[in-house]
Amino acid sequence: MAHTLAEKIIAAHMVDADTGAASPQDAEVWPGDLVEVRVDLVLSNDITAPIAIREFQKLGVDRVFDPHKVVMVADHFVPNKDIKSAEQCLLMRQFARAQGLPHYFDVGRMGIEHVLLPEQGLVMPGEIVVGADSHTCTYGALGTFATGMGSTDIAVAMATGRIWMRVPDTMRIVYQGQLRPWVGGKDLILHTIGRIGVSGALYKAIEFSGPAIDALPMSGRFTMANMAVEAGAKAGLFAVDDVTRAYVQRHSSRLYRAYEADDQAACVQEVCIDASLIEPQVAFPHLPQNVRSVSQAGDVGIDQVVIGSCTNGRLDDLRIAAQLLRGRQVHADVRCIIIPGSQQVYLDSLDEGLIRDFVQAGAVVSTPTCGPCLGGHMGVLAAGERAVSTTNRNFRGRMGHPESEVYLAGPAVAAASAVAGRISGPEEVLL
């Protein structure tokens, strides 16, 4: 029988619930099945790990199932912004040391988790990765079934290396045509969420495909997979192609098995989008589905711009921002905050002169951190303030005061808006 990419990966990881033995190679799963699967990697961060650790301790288990497959990253409130965040990180640090976790990432060695893990070669095609963070779905860009779970589930995964999962339906989104200048993965996914809504893919696995996807670099694919959850998806998956294989080869020497969806595999819905018609996009408050083309944004003055996060904190994103900020000045009424997604991204940006471009333009550059994305630190908004941000959510109060506003966009629109002092497309700045 024909199966989707999600179904094939899940079936390959299925185990017998009683014995824990692997299922036969010809095992099949179908949407709606409740199955137990082994996981290849378990992730948590400085917000979610402490909860998982406490639940793990209640299980009466002394050791994690495999220290090499449990990853903890301090990235949300680091460097620690207050006593509470320091205590959170201390608990995680002590647990990681006691368990001998080789993949514990702290200040000076860390990055934003969903930028860091692929960069470190910790995620491979064909794997199942679970994380106590909703944007764990980012790794679907590598042909990985990756999904977010609650901290209690993560505690069980740390102890057993297994989780229960309901097999999701699959929704296929096909992007035809060639992208316009300055249009990237962020614009494609914002346009898509604007079309199907924040519940349009609820508990479904999205398969992204089509000529526009084939031409998209890994950075754009990570961005799209990252925001699949903003449409309610369980996972967002890309086929493994030459672009994927080249990326994996650069970052890891580990062997992997990639899976392919069958051509005749049934999906619950197929959406076709002409990507050649898409302009740079902006999601207005207070939902990612409130999307407009930047040419239809109107005159919206802003107070702050954030360029970074697990959505758009990669080197390609900073290169785009630098193209527009280089030789120009951030508007006098705007605070522009640049956050490289990892130490490596920071170093590469230094080597290419991007950091100099940002500082000379009047922006500030932060150590890697989630910081302002969740209203944590490094850019919290006051009442009445507006920010254009390359992050993934713009819920009311997401970046600070409940009366502030967050407008989501890609790095091109964010950088152009920083210069203009209002929401603007890159062409306006380049005139």
Cβ(84)–Cβ(127) under 8 Å? Answer: no
Q: Is residue 236 pLDDT above 80, yes or no?
A: yes
394: confidence class by pLDDT, cuts 50, 70, 90: very high
Cβ(153)–Cβ(186) under 8 Å? Answer: no
Structure tokens at 264: 């005749």
212: confidence class by pLDDT, cuts 50, 70, 90: very high
The whole-angstrom separation of Cα 389 and Cα 406 is: 7
Percent of the chain with pLDDT over 70: 99
Q: Is residue 42 pLDDT above 80, yes or no?
A: yes
pLDDT of residue 305: 98
Under 8 Å CB-to-CB from 51, ≥6 apart: which residues?
132, 151, 152, 155
Q: What is the mean pLDDT of residues 174-187?
A: 97
CATH 3.30.465.10 given to domain 5-272: no
pLDDT digits (tens, 9 = 90+) for 18-33: 677 777 777 899 999 9
Residues 280-430, CATH architecture: 2-Layer Sandwich (3.30)
Distances (CA, A) of 240 to 195, 220, 261: 26, 14, 10
pLDDT of residue 26: 75
pLDDT of residue 22: 73
pLDDT digits (tens, 9 = 90+) for 310-345: 999 999 999 999 999 999 999 999 999 999 999 999
Q: What is the mean pLDDT of residues 45-67?
A: 96
pLDDT of residue 193: 98
Left if phi > 0, otherwise alpha if psi is -120 to 50, otherwise beta: which for 211? Answer: alpha
Residue 81's nearest CA partner among 364, 342, 371 is 371
DSSP of 131-186: ESSGGGGGGGGGT-EEEE--HHHHHHHHHHSEEEEEPPEEEEEEEES-PPTT--HH
Q: What is the mean pLDDT of residues 195-203?
A: 96
The segment(s) of the chain belonging to CATH 3.30.499.10 are 5-272, 280-430
The whole-angstrom separation of Cα 189 and Cα 289 is: 10
Distances (CA, A) of 405 to 207, 237, 300: 31, 31, 11
Under 8 Å CB-to-CB from 245, ≥6 apart: which residues?
none
pLDDT of residue 261: 94
